[in-house]
Structure 1
């Protein structure tokens, strides 16, 4: 598999000629409108993780692409054929096996309602928890580690990375940071990854790795 980090929370994963998009939202530049996408996973309904414009672009180029998300996404994404998934579900689509975990978004503040959120494990290798610190409880080859968000502090993300103990990790959810803040988060997340013997990859948008 080839994983390409896009801006903020978005990823694209390629395998055997198929592509999987994850969380193409408003802080991500317009995703390429190329054919080859077999599925889109949206972890939750916040617009930094999906927008109608991003989905429309993907679906226009790939009319058969399937869209997966929790119930909150299905309710928000009117006009799109979102297939509702829940924690514990497994879906096979093209060359991808998707396993879903968690169920709830991390708490931002008691005044802000908690919405549904699902983490996704792709081909038993790449794990992205969306806006949560849900630990999948299975071995993880590559972890998307949150660098900053209104719902976290860096010590929480460090603890999360230590608990997951991935072989490799890279930053996500970084568009709320300045360059100086990103550099600080990279140092802390690298330390956390190394505690389990893993390697931290400070990927920038557009960077890709083989998994």
Structure 2
């Protein structure tokens, strides 16, 4: 299984020549000409995690793509695309991918901002991404996608999250809101937290891959 990092919250997982796209949003270079896609997971409705243009680019190049997201995503997308609603505790198999969903709400940004639906996803019992939350699944996590920067987090929370999950390996997501200096700081802290738990940190840049 191969994981390819894209900008911000987006990454692509490939197994047996088929691809799963996670959170293709507005801070990610348009996914034009990406073939072999059979499914997309959108963790929540914010534009940095999905856009109509990104979905259209994927669907224009691939047939019969299944799209999954929490009820808030279904409502936000409306009639433009078909999104299958998933909830905490659901399990879906599509092609070579088994998807298990955890959590139900976005992390609190501020008391004045409504808390929206959000789902975390565990892919083939190997890769876990919580979307915009610190939801911890009740299973051992092999590879953890760690948020590096966001309006809803501070680095101490990220460190505590990585320490609690204790992944075998980790890599950064949600990094496009950071300066170069901020990214270096987050990489150092996430790396240290991962290593203290016995894991390995991979500071992936867009286009970098992990073979799992």
Calculate the TM-score normalised by the size of structure 2. 0.98
Name the residue aligned to 1:25. Answer: 25
Query: Once the two structures are superposed, what CA deviation does each residue of 1:183-211 show, in whole Å capped at 9, x if it has no partner?
Result: 00000001110121000011111100101
Once the 2 structures are TM-superposed, how far is the Cα of residue 103 of structure 1 from its aligned partner? 0.3
Once the 2 structures are TM-superposed, how far is the Cα of residue 62 of structure 1 from its aligned partner? 1.3
Query: Aligned-residue CA RMSD in angstroms?
Result: 0.6
Name the residue aligned to 1:76. Answer: 76
Name the residue aligned to 1:93. Answer: 94
Of residues 19-28 and 56-65 in structure 1, the stretch that sits farther from structure 2 once superposed is 56-65
> For residues 86 and 34 of structure 2, what CA distance do their matches in structure 1 show?
26
Matched residue of 1:117: which SS?
A: coil
Name the residue aligned to 2:131. Answer: 130
**Aligned counterparts, 1:100-139, within 5 A:** 100-139=101-140
**Aligned counterparts, 1:162-173, within 5 A:** 162-173=163-174
Once the 2 structures are TM-superposed, how far is the Cα of residue 137 of structure 1 from its aligned partner? 1.7
Kept in 2, the 8 Å contact 1:137–1:164? The answer is no
Of residues 58-67 and 114-123 in structure 1, the stretch that sits farther from structure 2 once superposed is 58-67
Which runs of 5 or more structure 2 residues have no equivalent in the other structure?
none
Once the 2 structures are TM-superposed, how far is the Cα of residue 61 of structure 1 from its aligned partner? 1.1
Which runs of 5 or more structure 1 residues have no equivalent in the other structure?
none
Query: Once the two structures are superposed, what CA deviation does each residue of 1:130-183 show, in whole Å capped at 9, x if it has no partner?
Result: 000000021111100010100000010110001010000011000000000000
Query: Once the two structures are superposed, what CA deviation does each residue of 1:107-148 show, in whole Å capped at 9, x if it has no partner?
Result: 000000000000000000000000000000211111000101
Calculate the TM-score normalised by the size of structure 1. 0.99
Deviation above 4 Å: which 4+ runs of structure 1? none
